[in-house]
Amino acid sequence: MSEKIDLSTFVLNEDEEFMNANQRAYFRAKLNAWKNDILREARETLDHLAEESANHPDLADRASSETDRAIELRARDRQRKLISKIDAALQRLDEGTYGYCEETGEPIGLKRLDARPIATLSIEAQERHERREKVYRDE
């Protein structure tokens, strides 16, 4: 494996071999940093919810607090699902399939992966998927 990647200075180069050791190290570092940020935010949310568990005597305050809590928990649930997608991307990195479209087997593209590191479909395959989804949703 290549040396440790600095996410703030590393530049992806489209002219290099696709998914070379440096690119794999970059995406591994990016995915792990993203996962660590989510886990940190989740711990902060749990701490915040524990502090906010005070019983509010005013019904409006209690309702507002419960609404805030529900929104926070929904956001955390979305983050939990995102962690499983990040873990799946890390697994694909280990298997050597990361960066390749699950539908066509073609490279997804560095710009798309940089913008959405958990992507499993190329832009073209994703657009086809969304068009099919829209057709079935409209029926």
DSSP characters for 40-81? Answer: HHHHHHHHHHHHTTPPPSSHHHHHHHHHHHHHHHHHHHHHHH
pLDDT at 43: 83
Are 80 and 89 in contact, with CB atoms under 8 Å apart? Answer: no
* Sign of the torsion angle spanned by Cα atoms 103, 125, 15, 21: negative
pLDDT at 2: 43
- pLDDT at 53 > cutoff 70: no
- Examine residue 9 and state whether it is found in any structural domain, yes or no: no
What are the tokens at 23? 């690119």
* 73/19 same-domain check: yes
Q: Indicate which CATH number applies to the domain containing 52.
A: 1.20.120.910
- Examine residue 91 and state whether it is found in any structural domain, yes or no: yes
17-26, 48-57, 90-99, 122-131: which has the minimum mean pLDDT?
Answer: 48-57
* 123/84 same-domain check: no
pLDDT at 1: 41
* 32/58 same-domain check: yes
* 90/75 same-domain check: yes
* Averaged pLDDT for residues 27-45: 91
* 24/87 same-domain check: yes
- pLDDT at 48 > cutoff 90: no
* 69/119 same-domain check: no
pTM: 0.78
- Examine residue 40 and state whether it is found in any structural domain, yes or no: yes
- Examine residue 27 and state whether it is found in any structural domain, yes or no: yes
Total count of domains within the chain = 2
* 61/20 same-domain check: yes
* 105/118 same-domain check: yes
**Residues of the domain holding 70:** 15-98
* 93/107 same-domain check: no
99-138: pLDDT as tens digits:
999 999 999 999 999 999 999 999 999 999 898 888 877 6
pLDDT at 102: 95
pLDDT at 91: 97
